[in-house]
Amino acid sequence: MTHVFHRNPKQQLAFAVRGQGIALFDQDNKSYIDASGGAAVSCLGHGHPVVIQAIKDQLDRIAYAHSSFFTTQAAEELADFLAERSPGDLNRIYFLSGGSEAVEAALKLARQYFVEIGQPTRRHFIARRQSYHGNTLGALAIGGNAWRREPFLPLLVPAHHVSPCYAYRDQLANETEEQYAERLAQELDQQIEALGAENVAAFVAETVVGATAGALAPVRTYLKRMREVCDRHGVLLILDEVMSGMGRTGHLFACAEDGVVPDIMTIAKGLGAGYQPIGAMVASDRIYDAVVAGSGFFQHGHTYMGHATACAAALAVQRVIEQEQLLSNVLQRGEQLRAELRSVLGDHPNVGDVRGRGLFVGVEFVQDKASKVTLNPAHKTHARLKKQAMENGLLMYPMGGTIDGVHGDHVLLAPPFICTPSDITEIVSRFARTVSQVLPA
Ligand code: PMP
């Protein structure tokens, strides 16, 4: 019997005993290549000496001081680091303990902003189907992952859903990428008009979708079109970069690659790279200034926000990534990973799509390549792939289930930024072996 509540009682779990570089070891000293960094978290791999030393140094000075009494050097320096590198006027950083907390704070800030500027009817949120923004109630309300939401309906935050940008499935054969993006922008426009723009606070989207569709990047003009629609209606744009941010796509922030600056952005996962739990909400000066000019402060707060040790760890992680220029490795290894996956698995009858940006790579499995009909959900292929991969010494992040009527079996590969070319080849080899064992062609 286990007393750990968050452990699925049906699952046999090995003990993670130690980690080194891209490998994790269990109690039998079996090694696993961490090809998903957990869920796109461990971007520096495991046991990085510089990060460990920075954490030890911080602990020796002070582990934690409550943010209503003190700030710390670690929090101030990390905020400066992020503000200097974030796009546009995204200069105000609110440190939290993870992704859901960051999303929750973003929703509340959007709401408070409109109250402060005298538009209190703006309380509705528009997000997208096949999306994931976290498991707290607000984040769950805007998320478009039906099975996660269902037990908790009706959710408290008024949220509405439009189509995701899912070119593999939804771009029409006679449509260019630009026309597809325009069609999605029109859908958002119509949804805002249907609700009345004066009632809508924000449109929320993952810049590159992670947990529901395996590294699904939008077509290039999509975010720009959505930004335009938001601006036309005075609606805020919140981009959730909890998974796609902090270098995962080869750019520190994925939205920068598409030339779009949101009003609020959320980050987590790769920020602390798993060395400490940390996330952040990043807000524009415009929103920050309006709230300060209004009631004076954002009505929010958690005990562990701005945690000194978490900030010190994140600062060390981000400095290593920058000093070692790891983002250029992310771009190169990402290209290599997709190319090798396509070369080894491109002809497999059940591999429908290999996609992604940087080291954020998704593989979508189908029953039939031409029709793109999904695999039978009862077979739980994604779960079988995960189990078989572990037997083969490979960690990859599976996702599946019926999402608004569309079932999908997807796998996310998000290896650490320190991967070498031969690491990538080994990941592809173990992955291909796993696929051929679970789905013999
Ligand atoms: N937003 C996105 C885009 C995510 O991928 C996740 C986690 N998978 C979250 C929010 C929630 O983050 P956390 O699990 O740290 O609460």
Tokens coding 69: 């009494």
pTM higher than 0.95 for the full model? yes
CA separation for the pair 183, 55 (Å, rounded): 48
Reduced to 3 states (helix: H, G, I; strand: E, B; else coil), residue 260 is: coil
Residue 8's pLDDT band (boundaries 50, 70, 90)? confident
Question: Is 385:434 a contact under the CB 8 Å cutoff?
Answer: yes
Residue-wise pLDDT tens digits, 139-185 = 999 999 888 888 999 998 999 999 999 999 999 999 999 999 999 99
Residue 133 Cα to ligand 1 midpoint, Å, equals: 5
Residue with CA closest to ligand 1 atom 15: 99
CATH of the domain at 394: 3.90.1150.10
Q: What are the backbone angles phi and psi of residue 355, rounded to the nearest 5°?
A: -150, 180
Nearest CA to ligand 1 atom 1: 133
Of 284, 296, 113, 141, the C-alpha closest to 201 is: 113
Kindly give the distance from the C-alpha atom of residue 243 to the centroid of ligand 1, in angstroms, as a whole number.
7
Confidence of residue 377 (pLDDT cuts 50, 70, 90): confident
Let me know: does 334 contact 356? Beta carbons within 8 Å.
yes
Under 8 Å between Cβ of 188 and 226: yes
> Is the domain of 350 the same as that of 302?
no
Instruction: State which residues form the domain around 277.
Output: 52-323
d(CA 113, CA 185): 24
Mean residue pLDDT of the chain comes to: 96
Q: What is the per-residue pLDDT across 90-100, written as a single tens digit (0 to 9) for each?
A: 999 999 999 99
DSSP string, 118-158: T-TT--EEEEESS----SSHHHHHH---HHHHGGGPSPSS-
Report the atom number in ligand 1 closest to the C-alpha of 134. 11
Q: Is 204 in the pocket of ligand 1 (CB under 6 A)?
A: no
With a 6 Å cutoff on the Cβ, whether 414 touches ligand 1 is: no
- Distance in angstroms between the alpha carbons of the first and the last residue of the chain: 40
* Ligand 1 geometric centre to CA of 380 (Å): 23
List CB contacts of 330: < 8 A, sequence separation 6 or more: 247, 248, 249, 250, 358, 359, 417
Cα 159 to the center of its chain, rounded Å: 20
Domain boundary among 323, 348, 363: 323
- pLDDT for res 407: 65
Whose structure tokens read 């509405």? 160
Residues 232 and 368 in one domain: no
Structure tokens at 345: 């698995």
Decide: 416 in ligand 1 pocket, CB within 6 A.
Answer: no
**363, 303: one domain:** no
Q: What is the ipTM of this complex?
A: 0.99
- Among 262, 290, 323, residue at a domain's last position: 323
CATH number reported for the structural domain that contains residue 205 in this entry: 3.40.640.10
Q: How far is the CA of 132 from the centre of ligand 1 (A)?
A: 7
Q: Which of 275, 291, 323 is the last residue of a domain?
A: 323
Q: Three-state SS string across 153-176, please? A: CCCCCCEEEECCCCHHHHCCCCCC
User: Does the pLDDT of residue 67 top 70, yes or no?
Assistant: yes
